[in-house]
Structure 1
Amino acid sequence: MFTGLVQALGQVRALGSDRLRVSCNDDNASLILTDLALGDSVAVDGICLTVMEVLPQGFIAAVSPETLGRTTLAQSQRSDRFVNLEPSLRVGSKLGGHFVMGHIDGIGYVDAIEQTSTSWEISFTTTSAIARYIVPKGSIAVNGISLTIADYNHERYWFKVAVIPLTYSETNLSYLQLGDAVNLEADILGKYMEKLIPNSRHENDLTPAFLAENGYL
Structure 2
Amino acid sequence: MFTGLIQTIGTIEQRDRDRLVIYCPDLISKIAIGDSIAVNGVCLTATHISDTNFVADVSPETLGRTNLGDRKLKYVNLEMALAVGDRIGGHFVSGHIDGMGKLCDRALVGNSWELSFEAIPEVARYIIFKGSIAINGISLTVSYCNDSGTNFRVAVIPHTYESTTLKYLDLDSSVHLEGDVLGKYVEKFLRSGHLAPSSLAHPEITSEFLAEHGW
- Fold agreement, TM-score > 0.5: yes
Q: Which amino acid aligns with 1:58?
A: N
Match of 1:207 in 2: none
Note the alpha carbon deviations across 1:96-148, whole angstroms, 9 max, x for none. 00000000000000010000003100000011111101111000000000000
Please report how far the alpha carbon of residue 156 of structure 1 lies from its aligned counterpart in structure 2 after TM superposition.
6.7
Match of 1:65 in 2: 60
Structure-1 separation of matches of 2:76 and 2:144: 26
Extract structure 1 runs of 4+ deviating beyond 2 A: 13-16
Q: How does 1:128-143 map to 2 (within 5 A)?
A: 128-143=121-136
Is this contact kept in 2: 1:111–1:123, CA < 8 A?
yes
Match of 1:6 in 2: 6
Structure-2 separation of matches of 1:86 and 1:183: 15
Please report how far the alpha carbon of residue 16 of structure 1 lies from its aligned counterpart in structure 2 after TM superposition.
3.1
Match of 2:168 in 1: 175
Relative to 1, partners in 2 of residues 1:156 and 1:8: Cα closer, same or farther, differing over 3 Å? closer
Match of 1:53 in 2: 48
Match of 1:119 in 2: 112
Is this contact kept in 1: 2:126–2:149, CA < 8 A?
no
The TM-score normalised by the length of structure 2 is 0.86
Share of identical aligned residues, percent?
A: 48
- Specify every segment of 5 or more residues in structure 2 that has no aligned partner in the other structure, as ranges: 202-215
Match of 1:99 in 2: 92
Match of 2:33 in 1: 38
Q: Which amino acid aligns with 2:174?
A: A
Relative to 1, partners in 2 of residues 1:156 and 1:37: Cα closer, same or farther, differing over 3 Å? closer
Relative to 1, partners in 2 of residues 1:189 and 1:177: Cα closer, same or farther, differing over 3 Å? same
The structure whose Rg is larger is 2
Match of 2:159 in 1: 166
Is this contact kept in 1: 2:101–2:174, CA < 8 A?
yes
Q: Which amino acid aligns with 1:112?
A: D
Note the alpha carbon deviations across 1:164-200, whole angstroms, 9 max, x for none. 0000011000111110000000000000100112368
Match of 2:211 in 1: none
RMSD across aligned positions (CA): 2.2
Q: Which amino acid aligns with 1:196?
A: F
Structure-2 separation of matches of 1:156 and 1:142: 14
Match of 1:196 among 167, 189, 193: 189
Please report how far the alpha carbon of residue 211 of structure 1 lies from its aligned counterpart in structure 2 after TM superposition.
7.7
Match of 1:145 among 138, 153, 157: 138
Deviates more, 1:84-93 or 1:9-18: 9-18
